[in-house]
Structures are given as structure tokens and as C-alpha cells.
Amino acid sequence: MNDKLLDKVTHLHEDGEHEKILELLENEPSEYERDGLYARALNNLERFNEAKELLLKHAKNGENDCVWHYRIGYSYYWLNEYENFINHFERYKELNSTMMSLDETAMLGYGYLQAQNPQKAIEILLSYPDEQNSFWNTNIARSYAYLEKYKEALPYALKAYDIVCSEYKDNTLEATPEAIMVSFLYTELEEFQKDIEFIKSIPYEQSHALNNALAYSYARLNRYEEALPYSLKAIELANQECEFEDEKFYASGAVIIYSNLNEQQKADELREKYGLTEELWLYTQEEIDCIDHHIEKTIGVYEDVFHEMVSDALHIDICIVKPTPQRDFYTLVTMGMGARKMDIPDEFKEYELERAELMICLPKNWNISSDDERYYWATRWLKILARLPYTDDTWLCDGHTIPTGEPLAGTSFECILLEKPYTFKGADVCELPNGEKVKFYQLLPLYKEEMEYKLENGVEELIELFDDDFSDVVNVKRKNYCEPNKAIAKFMQNFKKK
């Protein structure tokens, strides 16, 4: 490309005349420099896919060109293809002789966040701090929140909100997304009163999300009468904005509030109006307090809870009992399964098996906050089994085995056995204020061969195979007690005894 034409393109680019650049270069022969400038103009006109395709034609020539990597990385960024964006921007950073700009650093950090690598996002963003930039603060907050480090996230979220408010002094409603982030963090930290105080200190009245957040925090404080008007306002605003899915979601929250206010007719009216046909099953506050006391007395004190933000007919929270010197492992316990009675066969009704909660013991190095399926399967299967009697019209009790369909991630286990929590004295039964019993069952993952042995011989025979090395704390590398030679040897030993 000749210098005169290049000079024209440069001036047009500086003036933001990107359409004119395309017109100027349209009839020029395709070659590396021309196509690079043409792609840059396409990017600036938000025609990212065309820019990407044009740049890919020159992938070989651009392999060691930092500008080519920047341009195609930019296209991938706006096409939400973050893995490709990261690869090219990292190569751009490697080839570029100058330090990346703040905007480029922020883009790379955001890319890592979207690619589900929040720790790397934090590392990138903190390498070029700009505390007065709302985008930078917001993405630091999001990255920490992704890692469930809510305390670390909160100051950055608050800073982002303040910055946007100062930028839009005449219209602080522009900061509503940042305010929603702050509210989310307060609720995850279970600082519901602070959430209420924060939202009421800002212009929340026309935001359906913030009205719903207010309702949620009041409800979590059991202040249902105060929660109700905000819940109804959220529904009204969502309706005005034609946000039907949000409106329906808010209506499900209002149903919970009405139910706790014993206004069942109004709850039923909302269910019918929004197609929430399923009956919502919840413990009363008195029952919650009773089960909470039972868990803390027999299993352990818990401070953290995985709260279920969206529920169907059952609301299942997970209480997290952390390791202690006496019990050096995590115990996760459901809260909510027993709010709905199971349909027990007549021949077993005398055993009062209608209500149940579930638990699982995990080693102290288990990453309970991770969404990596190698760790998350424990939480996932607590929730699956807690809902199974409802979703499959069945019932569960100790001795039942449930196949997982495929091996649990990172293990060779293909089944789960429910058993009484023998490690925890008195934990197997909780008596509610009305005298009804809630049974507690522990999840024990099994190998396929162990499940088959249990189905053929019974659960007691299976447990007889377990030796002193067996622990009810999950060990993903424990031995298989029903490998053919071991199971047969044990069976023959028992047979000779008989």
C-alpha cells in the first residue's frame, strides 16, 4: 500500500470516518496491510464477524505481528468468543514492546472472567490498578464473587457504584446495575439489614430488581409484612416493562411471603395467575428453628448456608458444618426436603418415614465452594435426592440405593446408598413441635459392583463386607469391597461360619 493512501486512511481513522475507509479501500487489491486496515474499520463499525473472517485469511502472516493479534482478539472479544480472545490478546501482550493500556488490561481481565477463570482475571486487573474506573472495579468485584469471596468483592462493588453515580450526577439510575451487584453481595453475606439500608439510601423505586431485593432481605429477616409491598411493586414494574419471566419469578417470591403470612387464598390466586400450579412446601418458622437446633446439637454448629435462590415446589438450602478438631471433615445437610411428606407404602407407615433430610460427609480438603463437578457433585446429589420423592412420586429411607447413571465426576462411584448417620449420636431423628418425625439419612457413594451385591444380597450383607478402613467420610480413592475375588472370599467365609 502506498504512503499517500495509508496517510488518508490514518486521517479518516482519527476522525472516526470508518465507512469512508471501507469505501477508499474497497477496490484496492487484497493483501496483508490493506486487509488489516479494512478489518480495523469493520471492527469499529461493529461488524466483528466480517473482520474476524478477513483477518483469518492472513493467520500465517500475522503469527508474529502484535497488531494482527490485537485486531482479531478484539473481534473475538465482541463476539463473546473469550477463549480465542484470550489466546490472541496474550500473544499481543507477549509481542508488544509497550505496556498494555488500562482499557486493554480491563478487556483481558473481563475475558478471563467470562472464560470462568476469575483468579486469573483478578491477577490481570490488579497488575494495572485504576481505582477510579467503574469497569475495573466492577470486574474485580465480579471475579471475587465468582470465587464466592463476597467480603473481598463488596468494597469494589461499592466503589463502582459510587463512581457511576458521580459520572451521572443528574441521573443516578444509570448506576442501577452496580447497585444490584452490591445488593447481591450483601445477601450472600447474609447482611440483610445492611442490604435494606443500602437500597433505601438510593433511587430504587423504579427498579423491579431492587424492589425484589428489598422484599427478599425483609423476608430473610422474617419481616414478611414489610417484604410484601416491595414484592408486589417488583411484580408491577416487571409487568410494565414486559419482563414476563422476571414478573413470574417475583410472583413466586410473593407466594412464599403470602404463605408465611397465612394468606393462603392470595398465594393461590398468584399461583393460578402466573401458572405456578405446583404447591409450595415450606417448613414453618417454628419447624425451622427445631431442625436448626437438632443439626447444631447432634451434627455441628453451622454458620454458612448455600441458599437456593430459585426454587420449585421445594426450597432446599444446604447447611455447611465445617471441620472441627473433633470431626475433621465437612458435613453438608439439607434443610427443606422434609417440608413435604413422602407417600410411604401402607406397610411402612408405622415407622414414620414421611419426612426426611439428607447429609453427606466430605474430607476437610474438599472445595465445597467450587462449581467444578469433581467437587460440586456432592451438593448436586443432595439436591437431586431431596427432590426425588417429589419429582418421581417415590420415597426414600435408609437402605435405598440410587444409581447415578454415570460415574460421579472424578470418581468411579456409580450409585448412592442412604444410611443412618451412625457417626452422629442422636442425629437420625428430629421430632418437630407437632410430634412428627424427620429422619436424617447419610449419602454413601458406592461402586457399581457394591450396588449389584447389595441388590442381590441385601444392605446388611453389603455392610458386612466393609472393614475398619471404611469411612462414612467420602474417599474418592477408597477400595472397592465388591471386587469379585474379595466379595466371593468374604461370602465363602460367612458361608463356612453358618
pLDDT digits (tens, 9 = 90+) for 41-94: 999 999 999 999 999 999 999 999 999 999 999 999 999 899 999 999 999 989
Please report which confidence band the pLDDT of residue 103 belongs to, taking 50, 70 and 90 as the band edges. confident
Report the DSSP pairing between strands 355-363 and 437-447: parallel
- State whether residue 37 is helix, strand or coil: helix
Residue 405 has pLDDT above 60, yes or no: yes
The mean pLDDT value for 305-316 works out to 73
Give the mean model confidence (pLDDT) for residues 327-340. 94
- What would the mean pLDDT of 482-495 be, rounded to a whole number? 53
- DSSP letter (8 states) at residue 409: T
Q: What whole-number distance in Å separates Cα of residue 473 and Cα of residue 424? A: 12
Contact 38, 25 (CB under 8 A): yes
Residue 484 half-sphere exposure, CB side, CA atoms within 13 Å?
Answer: 0
Confidence of residue 484 (pLDDT cuts 50, 70, 90): low
**Mean pLDDT for the chain?**
89
Over 70: is that where the pLDDT of 485 sits? no
pTM greater than 0.75 = no
Look at 110 and 88; give whichever has higher pLDDT: 88
Other CB atoms within a 10 A radius of the CB of residue 468 amount to 5
User: For residue range 211-259, what is the model confidence (pLDDT) as tens digits?
Assistant: 999 999 998 887 889 999 999 999 999 999 878 888 888 898 898 888 7
* Burial class of residue 288 (count of CB atoms within 10 Å of its CB; 0-12, 13-18, 19+): middle
Q: What is the tens place of the pLDDT at every residue in 427-475?
A: 999 999 999 999 999 999 999 999 999 999 999 999 999 988 889 999 9
Residues 6+ apart with CB under 8 A from 38: 21, 22, 25, 54
Cell triple for residue 427?
A: 442425629
Which whole number is the average pLDDT over 175-202?
92
Does residue 294 have a pLDDT over 60?
yes
| pLDDT greater than 70 at residue 142 | yes
pLDDT of 105: 85
Q: What local confidence, expressed as pLDDT, does residue 263 receive? A: 87
C-alpha cell belonging to residue 280: 409450595
- pLDDT category at 312 given cuts 50, 70, 90 is low
Q: What is the pLDDT of residues 143-154, one digit of tens each?
A: 998 888 899 999
